[in-house]
Amino acid sequence: MTMTDRMARDAASMIGNDSGVAAHDVAIVMGSGWSRAAEALGHMRCEFRPTELPGFVAPAVAGHAGRIRSISFGDTDVLAFLGRTHLYENHGVGAVVHSVRVAAAAGCRAIVLTNGCGSLNPDWPPGTPVLIRDHINLTGTSPLVGADFVDLTDLYSAELRELCRNELGGVPEGVYAQLPGPHYETPAEITMLRRMGADLVGMSTALEAIAARAAGMSVVGISLVTNAAAGMGTGALDHQEVIDAGQSAAGRLGEFLTSIVPCVATSGRS
């Protein structure tokens, strides 16, 4: 067992001991602006600061609450990560995907990855939730080490996306491009991404999704459009805009999550 695996197992064990839950059903990673939506998910059994658990680092980005919660939502046990570590924080890829590996060690068979993102589609204004259909990983790295060949053909589960669409109705789907950040993209780069087939752009999620698939979890990705991508709008890009958009949509995002978690959990148990 590697040191990475051991830290994930030890963190999961601490969560299980404090929560009294032998195996959680669904994990949710909350991106920029999503943290307030966690309040809609149900009764919190226990909460940790990341630095209280092995392998985690404190979030360094505004809009990420920096808490890990075990939540009872009906008959579903949810493990929620309110905040994430980003590649540009220079803690390494292992730190970026540690929450995913902890979720797998805690028994989760499915994971919901959320983020705040820029829109390359003029029909998707700020406040629009979008299901991720596929991604383009432009970070130049992977969470996998060695000859670990993982099929990503159906990385963002088609079954779960269909369940989410049936439950929510009318929610669009798109291709998400992850760049390393922390700078925003130039208009020329956005033009390139549009020609590559991207609809959304951000600085997270793709590496976590790969790690989740490698761990055997079903993956749902949800982006909240927080701004028009560079050159698509009229103003300069600002992280505060990302936070404000998430806070404005917190109520709707909470409803969004409470609608899809039972669907994801049911599929994850099958």
CA of residue 24 relative to chain centroid, distance: 17
Clarify whether 185 is annotated catalytic.
yes
- The pLDDT-based confidence of 260 (bands split at 50, 70, 90) is confident
One of 39, 47, 159, 185 is an active-site residue; which one? Answer: 185
Distance of CA 123 to the CA centre of its chain: 23
**Number of other CB atoms surrounding residue 118 within 10 Å:** 27
Q: What is the pLDDT of residue 154?
A: 95
Q: Which residues contact 149 (CB under 8 A, 6 or more apart)?
A: none
Dump pLDDT digits (tens) for 88-132. 999 999 999 999 999 999 999 999 999 989 999 999 988 899 999
pLDDT of residue 150: 96
What would the pLDDT profile of 6-41 be if each residue is shown by its tens digit? 999 999 999 999 999 999 999 999 987 677 777 888
**What pLDDT is attached to residue 159?**
93
Convert the pLDDT of each residue in 149-204 to its tens digit. Answer: 999 999 999 999 998 888 878 899 999 999 999 999 999 999 999 999 999 999 99
pLDDT tier for residue 144 given thresholds of 50, 70 and 90 = very high
Residue with more model confidence, 34 or 239: 34
Q: What is the per-residue pLDDT for 62?
A: 56
At 241, the pLDDT band (50, 70, 90 cuts) reads: low
Q: Please, are residues 76 and 262 in contact by the beta-carbon 8 Å criterion?
A: yes
What is the C-alpha to C-alpha distance for residues 24 and 70, in angstroms, rounded to an integer?
8
pTM for the whole structure: 0.92
Q: Would you state the pLDDT for residue 252? A: 73
Cα→Cα distances 57→11, 37, 90, Å: 13, 22, 11
Cα→Cα distances 32→29, 79, 122, Å: 10, 18, 21
Q: Which of 89, 88, 131 is nearest to 112 (CA)?
A: 131
pLDDT of residue 249: 64
- What secondary structure, in 3-state letters, does 238-267 show? CHHHHHHHHHHCHHHHHHHHHHHHHHHHHH
State the pLDDT confidence band at 70, using cuts at 50, 70 and 90. very high
* Per-residue pLDDT, 246: 61
60 vs 105: which has the higher pLDDT: 105
